[in-house]
Amino acid sequence: MWHRLKTPLIALSVGLNLAFIAMWIAQTVPELSTGSKPATNAAGDGPDFLHRTIGVTSEQWRQIEPHIRQFRKNAQTQRRTISALRMELMELLAASGLDERRIRAKQEQILTEKSKMQNQVIELLLLEKRILKPEQQKALIGVIHGYCSGNETGDSPGPGLGQVLRSDESAFGKDHDDK
């Protein structure tokens, strides 16, 4: 039984990680040099690490920030929902009896929630694409591509998306405290 479920579970796990990788773009990235001066908002705390590295202007940040805040709030809720569904799936898989119908239904619920997360990411990217300059768009997509594709040896592309989503430069091996 485990052998039959092993491949779908691995595929499910990889799929969830890819969805979270896409979300990551709204949070942090490795340092890039764009030559643009980072913006600061009225409170003085300015854009997040990702937007500082791609060199958003004050005006761009003013337009993007409310959407980023809402995205982060929605993404946190979505992560919790997916996590709870994954735990329920694991409980079904660990149960003494095999109820494949319930397992498949739970899998479908997870996939539906992942799809919602991906839609949120795409909506944010489309919004940012309308605001960012072409060179900033290119830098943003380059970073996303780098994190999604990993490297040629098949090693993990980064410290783990969950960590990256909840922190700033510290997720990239710099000497900063985790948040």
Q: Cα separation of 179 and 177, whole Å?
A: 6
pLDDT tens for residues 86-111? Answer: 999 999 999 998 889 999 999 999 99
Q: Cα separation of 92 and 99, whole Å?
A: 8
The pLDDT score that the predictor gives to residue 2 is 66
Q: Which of 20-24, 39-43, 113-117, 127-131 has the lowest mean pLDDT?
A: 39-43
- b (16+ CB within 10 A) / e for 13-28: eeebeebbbbbbbbbb
